[in-house]
Amino acid sequence: MSQPIHVSTVQRTSAPALSVQGLTITYQAKRGDVQAVRNVSFDVGRGEALAIIGESGSGKTTLGLGIVRLLPSTATIRQGELLYRRFGAAGNGGGTSATSEVDVLQLKGRDLRQFRWKECAMVFQAALNAFNPVLRVSDQFGDTARAHGYLQGRELADRARHLFELVRLDSERVWRAYPHELSGGMRQRVLIALGLLLEPQLLILDEPTTALDILTQRNIMDVLKDLRQKLDFSLIFISHDLSLAAELADRVATMYAGKLVELSDVYTTFKNPVHPYTIGLIHAVPTLTAHRDHVSSIPGSPPDLIDLPSGCKFHPRCPLADQRCREEEPELAPASEAHHWVACWNWQSASDRLHNGQKGASA
């Protein structure tokens, strides 16, 4: 019934690096189908950083895995389209400077393997266990390079040293090390360096700091901000932490129950959010200027993705819910400002009625 809407970025002049159109992913479970991602559409511009935020169980990791086609066998992509655009001279062979388009969902075998990591690398949440424990870091870099016909030997080591410097690692110590000899923060930075090895156009970071302590987390965020300035790549940053998203992202997409509910540039998201859920999330973030008492959490818990509520999936937790919200699900539609999209029937009155103080905007 709902046809995918085209949500495009006009911030950047060129065509987007990745267009996701109406992506729908379900898992087969004993009780029924888990609707993890429902009709999600968005673009990621060239060199742009998009943050996808939401509570755990909102389908954001599934979305990330779907983009690199790494879903477990119980998951199926029901519908949708993933268009990836390769800019400039292609590294292997062709030498065409024209932009080429890749339909990611049609990729198979060798082509799919080449797409992974070379075009789109993904840094996972559980980086502590992301490396094969029995191979040295150098071997795992070598494996990746060999799989993509990239540099070998001395040249590879030089390139790795350069990347280790970028992520602020002591390359002498790391290069010959086994994963267990490195701390969690170091391993995460090694994985980021490995992600950048083949100069991918798109990097997906799935909760890259969640498992780390607060100081290490800070460190990684600094490294990432630094990398964004020095290198040219698009970024999808998946997180439940709004403040981290604010630091890194150009635009923010809020995800709830497998669906995008609000999409805007980072400033608007914090300054003028209009979806009650986004407003609630921002209120839940403690800030320096807000009083402790003002920090509130959203009542209730995320819905069961197998047995979703009717109408707007947020209505059981929404203070503004009315009859229409209970019956009809809103689709993502333009809000007042340009490039601001929201899926809510009451968005116009939401910010006023939820006494959305400007406090959340400090970042």
Partner 1 sequence: MSSRATVGPPKKTASYYLEKIATNYWVRTIAKKLLIVWIVMTLTFFIIRALPGNPVEIMVMSLMDSGLSSEEAYARAASLLRIDLDAPLGKQYLDYMTNLLHGDLGDSYVLAINKPVATLIAQRLPWTLFSVGTSLLISFIIGMFLGTLAAYWRNSFIDHALTNFSAAIESIPNTLTAIVLVLLLGVTWKVVPLNFMRGSLSPGIKPGFTTAFLVDLFKHYAVPGAVYVFSTLGGWMLSMRSSTISTLGEDYVTVARARGLPDLRIITAYVGRNASLPLITGLAISLGFAVGGSILIESIFVYQGIGLLLNQAIAKRDYPVMQGILLVTTITVILSTALADLLYGWLDPRIRVTGGGE
- Long-range residue pairs from 55-60, CB within 8 A, at least 24 positions apart, any chain: 55/240, 55/256, 55/302, 56/240, 56/302, 57/302, 57/305, 58/255, 58/256, 58/257, 58/258, 58/302, 59/25, 59/255, 59/257, 59/258, 59/259, 59/305, 60/206, 60/238, 60/255
**Spatial separation of the C-alpha atoms in residues 3 and 174, rounded to whole Å:** 50
For residue 134, the minimal CB distance to partner 1 (Å) is 6
**Spatial separation of the C-alpha atoms in residues 82 and 18, rounded to whole Å:** 7
For residue 113, the minimal CB distance to partner 1 (Å) is 4
Residue among 195 and 303 whose Cβ is closer to partner 1: 195
The residues binding partner 1 (CB under 8 A) are 68, 70, 113-118, 121-122, 124, 126, 129-135, 143-144, 147-148, 178, 180-181, 191, 194
For residue 360, the minimal CB distance to partner 1 (Å) is 34
For residue 328, the minimal CB distance to partner 1 (Å) is 38
For residue 76, the minimal CB distance to partner 1 (Å) is 18
Residue among 113 and 218 whose Cβ is closer to partner 1: 113
Q: DSSP state, 309?
A: P
List CB contacts of 103: < 8 A, sequence separation 6 or more: 81, 82, 83, 84
Residue among 127 and 223 whose Cβ is closer to partner 1: 127
Contact 295, 283 (CB under 8 A): yes
Residue among 116 and 315 whose Cβ is closer to partner 1: 116
Q: What are phi and psi of 41, to 5 degrees?
A: -130, 135
**Spatial separation of the C-alpha atoms in residues 62 and 72, rounded to whole Å:** 10
Residue among 30 and 180 whose Cβ is closer to partner 1: 180
C-alpha triplet 75, 81, 83: angle, nearest 5°: 120
Burial of 105 (C-beta count, 10 Å sphere; 0-12/13-18/19+): middle
Residue among 87 and 178 whose Cβ is closer to partner 1: 178
Residue among 113 and 324 whose Cβ is closer to partner 1: 113
For residue 194, the minimal CB distance to partner 1 (Å) is 8
For residue 125, the minimal CB distance to partner 1 (Å) is 9
